[in-house]
Amino acid sequence: MKKYLLTGFLFLLGFAGAAPLQAASVNECIPQSENGLSCLGEVTRSCLATEKNPVDDIVHECYQNEYVQWNQIVIKAGRSLKNRLKGDALGTFKAAQKAWELYRTKSCRLPYQVMQGRAALLAGLSCNRNLTARRALDLLQFQKALK
């Protein structure tokens, strides 16, 4: 069981050997990357690299900073799509967005229920950041398809 939790935890971190892109923000990183996935975790890594031994408050701040940047993309792209979609497509998008928000909320509470201490903190923060980033990239692709 611990082996599976550790494997899942490392996946959630999003550090699976991605080459650093040296971007100060998600919005700077996306144009430098092939599909945006390599940007996942980049802002967090840059932030944590400034600290020799980051305490939990700093770790939280670094993850939260990147999460907020991805979430701003979700909000902006979501608004754009709501304005451009019509009829059934708009209804489907609204339902999908609502379902995704519930999925993210429930999924990212789980680490706090099955882990403890710093591991729970890192897994929960990673979950929020990673799921939000992936949704942001999906919405950007939908926007691109509508152009």
Over the chain (147 residues), what is each successive 10-residue block's mean pLDDT? 40 40 79 91 90 84 95 97 97 98 97 93 95 97 92
Structural domain contains residue 12: no
For residue 90 the two structure tokens come to 């708009």
Query: From residue 65, how far is each of 46, 62, 107, 118, 124 by CA, in Å?
Result: 11, 5, 20, 18, 14
Structural domain contains residue 41: yes
Give residues with Cβ within 8 angstroms of 131, minimum separation 6.
Answer: 103, 104, 107, 108
Structural domain contains residue 13: no
Structural domain contains residue 48: yes
List phi, psi (to 5°) of 78. -60, -45
Structural domain contains residue 74: yes
Structural domain contains residue 136: yes
Amino acid 29 reads C
Structural domain including 48 reads 18-146
Structural domain contains residue 120: yes
Give tens-digit pLDDT for 82-102. 999 999 999 999 999 999 999
Number of domains in the chain: 1
Rounded-to-integer distance, Cα 56 and Cα 124, Å: 13
Give tens-digit pLDDT for 45-62. 998 888 887 788 888 999
Structural domain contains residue 29: yes
